[in-house]
Amino acid sequence: HWSLAQIILPVFLSCFGVSEKPLHCGDLPIIEHGDVTKAPDGLALTVRCAYLHKLDGPAEVKCVDRKWTQLPACKAPCKLDQSKFYYSQREYMLHGVEEGFFCTALSRVQVKCDNGKALYRGCECPSCPSCT
């Protein structure tokens, strides 16, 4: 048995562009190097990045007007070139980190990680007579 409200309400709501059901955003977005989990109601996502990858953006994403709000990215770590260092350093650096390492016994090289690409800046030797 159908009640009058069950028949009339959906028609009435649709005339005003309103739906009885929440407006879902559809399939899970693909985030490279990320693991996306949808909330049971389908209106929110949680994003976690793979090992050593850094989350850039919100960890929780909402479904608003059938669109996902700002999606984050998982930024890649940098594999460090050990040949540029005076002695062995760690193998990886996280995205966004900038640090100085010894390239000779007395001088340093600045390294910045930018989404998987290590940027090396000089082998500087401030105020020393010889850098060898």
How many domains in the chain? Answer: 2
Q: Is the dihedral of CA 108, 113, 114, 119 positive or negative?
A: positive
C-alpha gyration radius of the chain = 26
Could you tell me if 61 and 102 lie in one domain?
no
Q: Please, where are the H alpha helices in the chain?
A: 4-15
Could you tell me if 94 and 67 lie in one domain?
no
Q: Is residue 2 part of a domain?
A: no
Could you tell me if 83 and 60 lie in one domain?
no
As given in the structure block, the two tokens for residue 39 are 């909330």
Could you tell me if 93 and 66 lie in one domain?
no
Return the SS3 of 6.
Answer: helix
pTM: 0.70
Q: Is residue 7 part of a domain?
A: no
Could you tell me if 22 and 71 lie in one domain?
yes
pLDDT at 18 over 50: no
Q: Is residue 104 part of a domain?
A: yes
Tens-place pLDDT, residues 45-72? 999 999 999 999 999 999 998 899 999 9
pLDDT of residue 5: 53
- Residue-range definition of the domain harbouring residue 100: 78-124
Q: Is residue 89 part of a domain?
A: yes
